[in-house]
């Protein structure tokens, strides 16, 4: 059973590439960002607590996302594509325990490599159609700062375990998918 992390900065193309991978490998797509946005859209108690944090481009607390991931793994029967999780090393450590608890192992972490100017350009472009309240210039800058300070070390965490695969995230979308799939095929 495949358990893959799709990793990269905001704007790296995780959402787009997730669609291809989910279709090809019949994976369950678990995006913590999507799950959190649903809480806000549904105006749940949790949604009300996290809205201002997400609007500021900061990470919500680990406990919240870890509970979501624990539930998602428990329900899954087909393999998971993690998108937007883990976002810091503490979450990566918990993910290891959760996977082990469910008798699973991580296949690999695929990181999409995209230069910062291109990330900003893509997010500002997306802002015109996404309707996401965190797709504005100020918040984008904060999200990139959070990524560099807290999320980037997650790639090193998996590098040390021999599970980090880097893929060029620039260029033709289908060519990027093909590179990702080639890497997954080597490791499955
Ligand atoms: P994303 O859709 O992955 O870009 O996430 C949008 C926002 O949701 C982030 O800026 C964070 O505020 C929050 N978020 C998503 N995933 C996580 C996570 N694993 N840990 C903490 N906050 C998260």
User: Which pLDDT does position 172 carry in this prediction?
Assistant: 97
Active site residue 58: no
Q: Which residue's C-alpha comes closest to atom 1 of ligand 1? A: 33
Asked whether 139 lines ligand 1 (CB < 6 A), one says: no
CA of 34 to the centre of ligand 1 (A): 8
Indicate if 126 belongs to the active site: yes
10 close to ligand 1 (CB < 6 Angstrom): yes
Nearest CA to ligand 1 atom 8: 33
**Predicted local confidence at residue 19, as pLDDT:** 96
Any idea where the domains of the chain sit in the sequence?
A: 3-183
CATH fit for domain 3-183, picks 3.40.50.2300, 2.60.40.10, 3.40.50.300, 1.10.10.10 = 3.40.50.300
Over residues 137-155, the pLDDT tens digits come to 999 999 999 999 999 999 9
Cα 178 to ligand 1 centre (Å): 26
Nearest atom (ligand 1) to Cα of 84? 3
C-alpha 133 – ligand 1 centre gap (Å):
13
- pLDDT for 40-64, tens place per residue? 999 999 999 999 999 999 999 999 9
SS (H, E, C) the chain: CCEEEEECCCCCCHHHHHHHHHHHHCCEEEEHHHHHHHHHHCCCHHHHHHHHHHHCCCCCCHHHHHHHHHHHHHHCCCCEEEECCCCCHHHHHHHHHHHHHCCCCCCEEEEEECCHHHHHHHHHHHHHHHCCCCCCHHHHHHHHHHHHHHHHHHHHHHHCCCCEEEEECCCCHHHHHHHHHHHHHHHC
User: What is the value of pTM for the model shown?
Assistant: 0.96
Active site residue 14: yes
pLDDT, tens digit, 9 for 90 and up, residues 69-113: 999 999 999 999 999 999 999 999 999 999 999 999 999 999 999
């Amino acid at each position: 059973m495949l358990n893959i992390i799709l990793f990269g900065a905001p704007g790296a193309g995780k959402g787009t590439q997730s669609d291809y991978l989910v279709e090809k490998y019949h994976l369950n797509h678990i995006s913590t960002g999507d799950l959190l946005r649903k809480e806000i859209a549904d105006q749940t108690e949790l949604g009300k607590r996290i809205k201002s944090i997400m609007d500021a481009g900061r990470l919500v607390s680990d406990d919240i996302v870890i509970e979501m991931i624990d539930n998602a793994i428990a329900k899954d029967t087909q393999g998971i594509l993690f998108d937007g999780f883990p976002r810091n090393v503490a979450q990566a450590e918990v993910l290891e325990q959760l996977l082990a608890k469910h008798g699973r192992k991580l296949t690999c972490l695929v990181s999409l490599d995209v230069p910062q100017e291109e990330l900003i350009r893509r997010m500002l472009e997306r802002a015109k159609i996404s309707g996401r309240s965190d797709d504005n210039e100020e918040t984008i800058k904060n999200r990139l700062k959070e990524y560099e300070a807290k999320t980037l070390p997650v790639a090193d965490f998996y590098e040390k375990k021999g599970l980090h695969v880097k893929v060029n995230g620039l260029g033709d979308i289908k060519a990027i998918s093909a590179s990702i799939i080639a890497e997954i095929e080597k490791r499955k």
